Structure 1
């Protein structure tokens, strides 16, 4: 009976050195991924807020493209959004609505020669401001005409 308990206790020693090393490596990789990708998702959240705030503006239909870009630029400056999101701002006026689109892609180096590509496509259609931030219109058709 005593030897059965000893054998059982011998098997319950816990994780080995290699087990702990694997756990630490996996946690380190996860923290690296989060630290590299989190700023892009924070910026995407601020872009959502900017579009929703713009959609609540009663003067939006009367604003010029320049005024819309200036308003968005101000929001980006206050919230420290820089780079690709600010350059990807596009305003398309239609007969019944205005579409404000921010469609961009970020490439973030992760480890050595491995990159993470994140794509963001946010839109505000003044005809349906309650559906803010989900892409409703394919603006590629307008780009091909230009």
Structure 2
């Protein structure tokens, strides 16, 4: 008499797998907005690089253009104090450094430190 041995997940192991997948999805939902904002900061900075005459602009004008682009992307964690400019040979080096803190569970938080920079050199012609 040969009996077939059944294999597969038991109810308990299925619940454990479901819990792990659920927790991973929960963490992903907390982290996704932080990284989405970071990518909008990066794309705004890259967009400024192609702005005509950006290398000759005043830093306050560049910062204004940068925050207009961020406003469109609903960015709320980057403040003017997080944006720094440094003069380089062919224009400016723009640096953005900021921190995002999101509550996770109870008194635990997820903290993201973001630091990026972009060279703004001579492209196009001034307005």
Question: Which residue in the other structure is 2:18 paired with?
Answer: 24
8 A Cα contact 1:76 1:86, kept in partner: no
Distance in 1 of aligned mates of 2:23 and 2:103: 13
Distance in 2 of aligned mates of 1:60 and 1:89: 16
Question: Which residue in the other structure is 1:5 paired with?
Answer: 3
Q: Specify which of 94, 108, 111 is matched with residue 114 of structure 1.
A: 108
Which structure has the higher relative contact order (CA within 8 Å, separation 6+)?
2
8 A Cα contact 1:105 1:117, kept in partner: yes
Higher helix share: 1
Distance in 2 of aligned mates of 1:97 and 1:59: 9
Deviations 1:12-69 (A, max 9, x none): 2x31221011011101101110111100111111111111110111311121111011
8 A Cα contact 1:50 1:72, kept in partner: yes
Q: Specify which of 55, 64, 70 is matched with residue 58 of structure 2.
A: 64
> What RMSD in Å do the two structures reach over aligned CA positions?
2.1
Distance in 1 of aligned mates of 2:120 and 2:71: 23
Higher strand share: 2
How many residues end up aligned between the 2 structures? 122
Question: Which residue in the other structure is 1:86 paired with?
Answer: 79
Distance in 2 of aligned mates of 1:106 and 1:80: 14
Distance in 1 of aligned mates of 2:51 and 2:117: 15
Structure 1 unaligned spans of 5+: 130-146
- TM superposition score normalised by structure 2: 0.84
- Of stretches 104-113 and 18-27 in structure 1, the one that deviates more from structure 2 is 104-113
Query: Runs in 1 of length 4+ with deviation above 6 angstroms?
Result: none
Distance in 2 of aligned mates of 1:112 and 1:51: 35
8 A Cα contact 1:91 1:100, kept in partner: yes
